[in-house]
Amino acid sequence: MLLLPEREQFSTARLQGGHKKRYYLSVRAKFAFALLLAIAWTALSVWLSQRWVFELAAVTNMAFALIAICFIAYVPGFMNAFLISTLVLDRRPGMTICEDAMPGVTVLVAAYNEEQGIKETLTSLARQDYRGNLEIIVLNDGSSDRTAQIVRTALLTLPKPENITFRFHDYKENRGKSAVLNDGLRAATHDLVATIDGDCWMRRNAMTSIVGRFLSDPPDTAAIAGAVMVRNSRTNLLTRAQEWDYFHGIASVKRMQGMYHGTLVAQGAFSLYSRQALEEVGGWPSSIGEDIVVSWALLERGYRIGYADSALAFTNVPEGLRQFALQRKRWSRGLMEAFKAHWRLLFKARMSTLFIWWNVCFLPLDLVYSFIFIPGLVLALFGYFYIAGPLTLAVLPLAALWNIVIFRIQRGVYQSENLKVRKNPVGFLFYALIYSLLMQPVCVWGYIVEIIGMKKKWDTK
């Protein structure tokens, strides 16, 4: 594995932030501690649920009861216990900021039918406070709307600092996101490459934060995932719930994975990569989930992927059920593509391998939730509590604690960025009680269409 040149060149940077430490607990020790607590919680859950198992087995059979309860209670309980333990132990190191100038970065903005948001995306990039050269390449992937016209007008009228340059590649034919990103990679002039979606609004210090995290993380880091949050959360109940999904669920998982050197997805919406590492794995693959597949390719090569919680970008999430379902179906297909291409990660000796196996559980978890737990909720309405009832709640109390812990952490991140967490109690109730009823059956749909080899389409536009 080659050295990453930008890290060598800027090794004299200073450190900002961080925590004063009275004692040091290594990452491996934290991993072992979190794992032991998760195993202990799971063992307690098994002991508490014995009556539940036998009651369900009496009306079905023992195999059905064990499978159902395992994926309704034991596996989620293990995951929640491990996640909570990790979040409590997490102490992020200080961030590296260069005294004079930061390394140059090429920013790739892939756009397909983004007339609603592309101008604001470019405006937010032009306003970055980054103290280094930013080369922004807009890649119009054969849009059929006014995206190209809006980009041309914006590039003529936007005020731009001397260190920020824009280039526009207007492709007449729609070839897919990975194809235009690889074109942008070949055209890039800097050793660090960032990707940003054409509907994202970047915080003014977003590029500074994500590059600073890259420079301060271990030398085998090949990519950093930015923190993507919801911009249009006040549109309706669905977007309000997605605000909590991004703010709580996605952010907490990335924080946990990053702590153990293996963030599984450097998402295309906002991430930073070493150009050298990208070229080593052949760039972005032609797939529905190009971001997760390329992330797993980097992990398989032995690289590390980190997470920058203060590098904030705000994206527009799906506002309708159909668009939401198609997006989550695509994400599920991307996960299956990653397993097909990089199944060897299941047997790689590193801490992040736990999270690869964690993802193996998603298919049975979503199947059991969709076809056993949801029907169990219906039965509970008629007084039959074999699947969903008081005993279910007895082995699943960690969800509330997990939400409290991650809320405190995320609120702290926002406060450090002079942002406030907007009140959204109705959205949280929908997220906590209803959201999974929509999302997990859609995930099953995504797994199935990938397994049977249906035609791959971006779908959402």
CA 294 to chain CA centroid, Å, is: 14
Q: Rounded to an integer, what is the distance from CA 12 to the centroid of its chain?
A: 31
* C-alpha–C-alpha distance, residues 336 and 331, integer Å: 9
User: Which residues on adjacent β-strands are paired with residue 228?
Assistant: 313
383 in any annotated domain:
no
Residue 216 lies in domain: 97-341
* CATH code, domain with 248: 3.90.550.10
How would residue 99 be classed by pLDDT, with cut points 50, 70 and 90? low
56 in any annotated domain: no
Q: What is the DSSP letter of 4?
A: -
Mean per-residue pLDDT of the chain = 89
Helix, strand, or coil (residue 221) = strand
For the entire predicted model, the pTM comes to 0.90
Distance CA 371, CA 376 (A): 9
* Structure-token pair, residue 461: 């536009």
Q: Is residue 326 part of a domain?
A: yes
pLDDT at residue 185, as a whole number: 97
Give the chain's domain count: 1
Confidence of residue 100 (pLDDT cuts 50, 70, 90): confident
Q: In what order do the strands lie in the sheet with 270-274?
A: 164-171, 134-141, 105-111, 192-197, 270-274, 221-230, 304-315, 200-202
Q: Is residue 438 part of a domain?
A: no
Angstrom distance (rounded) from CA 222 to CA 218? 10
Q: Any idea of the CA torsion for 266, 267, 271, 274, to the nearest 10 degrees?
A: 40
| Tokens standing for residue 80 | 């929640």
Percentage with pLDDT > 70 across the chain: 92
171-208: pLDDT as tens digits: 999 999 999 999 999 999 999 999 999 999 999 999 99
DSSP strand E in 72-220: where?
95-97, 105-111, 134-141, 164-171, 192-197, 200-202
In the predicted structure, residue 11 carries a pLDDT above the cut 60: no
In a domain, 31, yes or no: no
pLDDT in tens, 102-151: 899 999 999 999 999 999 999 999 999 999 999 999 999 999 999 999 99
CB 369 within 8 A of CB 72: yes
Are the beta carbons of 105 and 211 closer than 8 angstroms?
Answer: yes
10-19, 316-325, 441-450, range with the lowest pLDDT:
10-19
Query: What's the pLDDT band for 433 if we cut at 50, 70, 90?
Result: confident
Sign of CA dihedral 28, 256, 310, 225: positive
The reply to whether 211 falls in a domain is: yes
Go through 160-173 and write b for each residue having 16 or more CB atoms within 10 A of its CB, e for each that does not.
eeeebebebebbee
Q: What angle do CA 344, 277, 228 make, to 5 degrees?
A: 85
